[in-house]
Structure 1
Amino acid sequence: MFVRSSAIARKANPWAGARPAHLRSPRPETSQGLQSRAGFTILELLTVVAVIAILLGVTLPAISSAREAARKVHCVNRLKQIGVALHNYHDVYRSLPAGWQWERTEQSAYGWGVPLLPYLEQPAIYRRVDRNRLIDDPANTFVSQTSLGTFLCPSDIYDQNFTLFRDDGDEDDELTTAPIEPLIPLVNLPTANYIAVFGTIEPDDDIPIPEGDGAFPGARCNRFAVFTRGLSNTLFIGERTMGRVPSTWLGIDSLGEDATCRLVGAAIDGPNCEACDECEFDSRHPGGANFLWGDGHVKFVSETIDSKTYQSMSRLYAPLP
């Protein structure tokens, strides 16, 4: 009788006697369910890739711009350091260093950067330079392989040293059908990005070398008193990339290609002029180049500057009325 009533009760309520839901063991997942939850759909994956690409497109230019801004600050500081050295040199010798100084045979010339070395915290390097010997003399081997960060712009892409080759005297090799003769190496030199202002005349066009009309006109020294335009209105030192022409702070062999142009520059058309002569100034800073002025301040000169204004700032003397 009891069994019959229990059976009747279960028929009436099929859930009677079942365990509560929170006490029941979970059902095992089927293999099909696990596979459906194991990865992304193609649409989800493409969405993630697109979001990452957008984020990279926004952040990478900003990071690159910030890095260039930092490099530009370092460039300005190095030019200011050179400016302080020039003023300290002038205080001692009552003149600026010459654009270059010949040794006795006048085959090798040493650049304006060499006499500044003691004022750039490089007295040991200065003592290793023997300006009474040829630049390729074994006595100068050590300094010819010495790269100095003070003369390098962090924004440029450069090798620490370069080889100066003999000038073959033919600027139209691409128009000739004669066999091209191998280049003759003369001397290895340390790279520099900061070049003295020769003026508005190209220093490598004529022999004998013409005298420049700028702050560093060649083998002659200038005193501050002769700058009739005023020091704050006259360009002293500017930038040049290794891509235009490798330049140096040490010196040159006069037989080298574009030899004097490796030490000084001509301000004729404007910074960053791709079609201009190799003696022009340029930089990898967007829009122009940094210049050190006579009073020691550093200012960015735009590549869109009027050429007459640019030339006027590069001359030693003010034009006659």
Structure 2
Amino acid sequence: MKKSSSTWSGFTLIELLVVIAIIAILIALLLPAVQQAREAARRSQCKNNLKQIGLAMQNYHDSYDLFPIGGASDYLRAPLVSWQVRVLPYLDQAALYGQLDLAGTLPAASYSAGNRSMVPYQILADGRQLRQVLLPTVRCPSDALGSVRNTWALGNYGASLGSQFTQSNRHPSAAACEPFNGFSEKTTNWGDTQNTSLVSGVISRAGAAIGIRDILDGTSNTILVGEILPMCVYGDSTGYDFGSWSSSVSACNASAVTVTPINDFTPCSALGAKRRTSYPTCAAYSVGNATPESAWNFAFGFRSLHAGGAQFVLADGSVRFLSENIDHAGTYQRLGGRSDGKLIGEF
């Protein structure tokens, strides 16, 4: 009689280890690709946000023959809102805008702390204050550093003061951190004036009324809005609303400047070990409120967490990605200045 035989087809230990090693290698190869695809999607969404903002600015200009002001004649009085609040009706937020009391005529009880001069503190129909509203259109999904700070909802897009002189915090140790002012086209500190001839960019936080007629260099050669990282501006304890999309004091208002190089992360202590410092001595200040973020000559630059640069809206409404390696002293400053009369090449 023929004896039956059986064979065992299982894996040996060595074969199992080889399979595991192959799977690990495949995962290691695929993970960066997945992360890059996710970042590409986030960057695309950020670009779409900027396109919406650029269109909103153009529509606002069509209605009023000027771009929205970044502040008021006196930025210590009502309504104390940013340009982004003013363009809400053009960002599909007419219902939100319709609730706002920009004239300060509502009773004090309609405001947190009863201050009618600060519209961001206005209590809305749903019980929130304006300053607490998270608005997706003003947030870049690539920024994972935080969407709220000190109960203020943050934003990632700042209007451009252009190539403007920007003095750091007047604390002696922070005041030493002003290496970029030598690049400035206009020397009025922070553009705090209503005299348009003293403002390099398109929007002034002091309420200078600027329109396309004032952009003598051409709308396709002038930065209107760009990306910022709100957690890289000022410190938590002192800059209570810096980085808010709704406040006139905020970096989202009209304080971002081209004098600071794109993606200079010297003031970004929120990045921790990932921070790149161009001027390490300016990152060491810790006396009083002289934090790295209060070295304002650094802190109010345009920056993003997109690799290699940041995205900008030009005054014609188009969106461009500018490399952090752009000619800083020449091309970048000329893109900041709306009427410097200087020629500009490809960028």
2:326 to 305, 308, 312: 305
Instruction: Give aligned-pair identity as a percent.
Output: 32
Letter in 2 for 1:134: S
SS in 2 for 1:228: coil
- Residue 73 of structure 1 is matched in structure 2 by 44
Q: Please state if 1:282 is matched with 2:303.
A: yes
Question: Which residue in 2 is equivalent to 1:5?
Answer: none
Normalising by structure 1, we get a TM-score of 0.73
Q: Which residue identity lines up with residue 250 of structure 1 in the other structure?
A: S
Matched-pair contact (CA < 8 Å) for 2:262–2:324 = yes
Alpha-carbon separation, structure 2, partners of 1:45 and 1:202: 65
Deviations 1:23-52 (A, max 9, x none): x7x46x7xxx97xx66531x2232122211
- 8 Å contact kept, 2:153–2:245: yes
The gaps in structure 1 that reach 5 residues or longer are 1-17, 164-187, 253-258
Matches of 1:284 and 1:320, distance apart in 2: 30
Higher strand share: 1
Residue of structure 1 in register with 2:146 after alignment: 159
| Consecutive unaligned residues in structure 2, runs of 5 or more | 105-115, 171-188, 193-198, 234-241, 268-297
Distance change (3 Å), C-alpha of 1:248 and 1:102 = farther
- Shift in alpha-carbon separation, 1:152–1:104, aligned structure 2, 3 A: closer
Question: CA deviation digits over 1:107-136, x for unaligned, max 9?
Answer: 872100011000111011112333322336
- Matches of 2:122 and 2:66, distance apart in 1: 31
SS at match of 1:195: strand
Q: Supply the distance in 2 between the matched residues of 1:137 and 1:237 (Cα, whole angstroms).
A: 25
Could you state the TM-score of these two structures normalised by the residue count of structure 2? 0.68
Matching of residues 170-319 of structure 1 within 5 Å: 188-201=151-164, 205=168, 210-211=191-192, 212-218=199-205, 219-245=207-233, 247-252=243-248, 259-264=249-254, 265-275=256-266, 277-308=298-329, 309-319=331-341
How far apart are the structure 2 equivalents of 1:82 and 1:291?
A: 11
The residue aligned with 2:117 is: 134
Aligned to 1:62: 33
Structure 1's 40 and 103: CA in aligned 2 closer, same or farther, altered over 3 A? farther
Change (3 A) 1:105 1:59: closer
Aligned residues: 262
Is it true that 1:89 corresponds to 2:60 in the alignment?
Answer: yes
In the TM superposition, residue 142 of structure 1 has moved relative to its aligned partner by: 2.5
Is the alpha carbon distance of 1:99 and 1:144 closer, same or farther for their aligned partners in structure 2, counting shifts above 3 Å?
A: same
Native 8 Å contact 2:162 2:200 kept in 1: yes
Contact preservation (8 Å) 1:146, 1:190: yes
In the TM superposition, what whole-angstrom CA distance separates every residue of 1:82-120 from its partner, at most 9, and x where no partner exists? 111111111111111012236785387210001100011
**Structure 1 vs Structure 2 CA RMSD:** 2.7
**Residue 273 of structure 1: SS of its match in structure 2?**
coil
State whether structure 2 residue 135 is matched by structure 1 residue 148: yes
